[in-house]
Amino acid sequence: MLVKLPDKDVFFPWENEMNSIIISEIELNDWYFLDNGFASTAGMESAHKPIIQLASELLVKKSSHILDLGCGNGALLREIMKANDCIVPYGIETSLEKVKHARLLIPEHGGNFHVGNMFCKGLLGRLDKSFELVLLMPGRLLEIDRVHRHTLYNFLNRNAKNIMVYAYGDWLTRFEGLGRLAGLAGLRLLCNSKEPVVSLAAIYRDSEECRLP
């Protein structure tokens, strides 16, 4: 089944026929997992499981704003919301199509999903609120320059009560684990696990503590 999406990058109240779509039918679309870089729904759910578990333990039915930087189609946020219906999700994603899908998966908060660059000062300025949790794949910080990294660092220091970092597959293999990947991105893990795939993290206070290019 293919779901028709809105043509414009503007959030409007969904029409009655859109509201009647059953989520299980939406999940039959290949974009449900492909948007997030996975080959199947099962693979995506397996990779998301430890992230959902840690987020659920942290939030514990607390009314919270949560931001996913590089949210894909919002599938991860939607699963976290199932464990805590008090959560208000927000997401930033560069792909217009993925944001349209996020607004379809979480229509009640569709206006909280933004198309743009997570390192853009103007976009981050529009999200100037306190977030109980911010989700981030630290590899993204290795793809941009120091100035843009520090734009995001400043936002996180000001707006994030907790930073959660994670990585999948090739990112973990190439960088020999999440700890080294996060360290190269200017973040240190706050967990004692030997080989974590997800962890709370903090930004190094002194840029000399980490090996940024």
- Encode pLDDT of 64-102 as tens digits: 999 999 999 999 999 999 988 889 999 999 999 999 999
Q: Residue 155: which of 184, 130, 188, 189 has the closest Cα?
A: 130
Mean pLDDT for all residues in the chain: 87
Residue 25 is predicted with a pLDDT of 65
pLDDT grade, residue 2 (50/70/90)?
A: very low
The token pair that represents 161 in the structure block: 């009560």
Q: What are the extents of the domains in the chain? A: 16-209
Q: Starting at the edge strand that comes first in sequence, how are the strands of the sheet with 64-69 ordered?
A: 113-115, 87-93, 64-69, 133-136, 163-166, 198-203, 187-189
Give the least confident one: 3-12, 21-30, 76-85, 156-165: 3-12
Q: Is the predicted pLDDT of residue 59 greater than 60, yes or no?
A: yes
pLDDT in tens, 16-33: 444 444 555 666 689 999
The CATH superfamily assigned to 16-209 is Vaccinia Virus protein VP39 (3.40.50.150)
Res. 5: pLDDT tops 50: no
Task: Determine the pLDDT at residue 29.
Answer: 85
**pLDDT recorded at residue 212:** 47
Residue 13 has what pLDDT? 43
Poorest-pLDDT segment among 24-28, 40-44, 100-104, 191-195: 24-28
